[in-house]
Amino acid sequence: MDKEFTKRFLTNRGETGRFIVKSMKTGKSYYVECLDTNERTDWGDLDPVTKKMTGSYGDKYKGSVRPEESLITKENGFEKIHYLGVGESPLDYINRIDDEYFEMMNK
């Protein structure tokens, strides 16, 4: 990836949750972003009179992007795109595929 794309990818990281992991073993860079499928708990204040939720905590810094906002696409030069399930660690997954890549490099 070029520097301009990387800069755009890392802009507003607190809001988007995007980050890059660079392997010290293989030198490969892994771009990570969490996709928001809108399956999360709403946060706010419960009005004791109306029993309705007020406030919109979590809308700004939700740490994820909607699928249509994803920058990890084939059009942006990504060849291998992996999707993880809820609760799966992206860092653990990266370690596993990086170990596989390392072994392939040393055959």
**Tens-place pLDDT, residues 12-42:** 998 899 999 999 999 999 999 999 877 655 5
Tally of domains within the chain: 1
Say how many C-beta atoms besides its own lie within 10 A of residue 13's C-beta: 14
Q: What's the pLDDT tens digit per position in 48-75?
A: 888 877 776 655 667 888 899 999 999 9
Residue-number span of the structural domain to which 30 is assigned: 3-105
CA of 62: how far to CAs of 12, 76, 99, in Å? 11, 24, 31
pLDDT given for residue 46 in this prediction: 77
Q: Give the pLDDT band (50/70/90) at residue 104.
A: very high
Handedness of CA 78, 79, 83, 84 (dihedral sign): negative
